[in-house]
Amino acid sequence: MQVFNSSSRFGVVSILLHWLVAVAVFTLFGLGLWMVDLNYYHEWYKTGPDIHRSVGILLFGVMIFRVLWRVVNRGPCPLPGQAKWEVRIAHGVHGVLYLLLFVAFVSGYLITTADGSSIHVFDWFTVPSVTGQVKGLEEVAGDIHYWTTWAIVVLAGLHAAAAFKHHLIDRDDTLRRMVGR
């Protein structure tokens, strides 16, 4: 398999980045939903959020790389027969997903660092607070994070449904290109 995208196919790097981000986003979403209901005495009360924050910070780095990769390595051309409106919507959805992911990263970061705390990423490195202590920031960032992540999951679900529509109804190669076939 080719490393770089061609005019007709995605390269292995783009495919791996796509699926890594998809799995990480849905895993973080599930972990986030589960951990907000943990009580202080639950064994995962500290571990769950630590994992969530660490993976979120690492995913932020992956997404920065993904954006740079996309800038220097354009995606394949639209498939023959795809309507221009479908192509425009697909590009728009990708852009909105990218934007929402970065809003989720920043708001998640602000939830933890609003009190001046740093984020310890798997005890590998520490990301310091850039805000110091800001009253009320944690609550505002929490609301933004909550609604943004729900929007990401809903939009990603629609994105997946569209891919299956292309595969099962249109019988084109849209989905095959993203699984490397």
Residues 158, 38 contacting (CB under 8 angstroms): no
Does the pLDDT at position 16 exceed 90? yes
Average pLDDT along the chain: 93
Share of the chain above pLDDT 90, in %: 75
Residues 137, 114 contacting (CB under 8 angstroms): yes
DSSP three-state, residue 127: strand
Residues 7, 76 contacting (CB under 8 angstroms): yes
Higher pLDDT, 25 or 36: 25
- Give the number of other CB atoms < 10 A from CB of residue 64: 12
For residue 7, is it within any domain?
no
For residue 157, is it within any domain?
yes
For residue 2, is it within any domain?
no
Supply 54's token pair: 């660490």
Does the pLDDT at position 176 exceed 90? no
Q: Determine the average pLDDT of the residues in 140-150.
A: 97
Tell the residue number behind the tokens 């479908």, with chain if given: 86
Q: Which domain holds residue 114?
A: 12-178
Supply the pLDDT for residue 67. Answer: 97
Q: How many domains does the chain have?
A: 1
For residue 5, is it within any domain?
no
Supply the pLDDT for residue 11. Answer: 92
Supply the pLDDT for residue 128. Answer: 96
In whole angstroms, give the CA distance from residue 176 to residue 181: 5
Query: Length of the chain, please?
Result: 181
For residue 4, is it within any domain?
no
For residue 158, is it within any domain?
yes
Cα-Cα end-to-end distance for the chain:
9
Tell the residue number behind the tokens 């529509």, with chain if given: 165
- CATH number, domain with residue 40: 1.20.950
Supply the pLDDT for residue 13. Answer: 95
For residue 3, is it within any domain?
no
Residue 86 belongs to what H/E stretch? helix 84-113
**Tens digit of pLDDT for each residue in 44-101?**
999 999 999 999 999 999 999 999 999 999 988 888 888 899 999 999 999 999 999 9
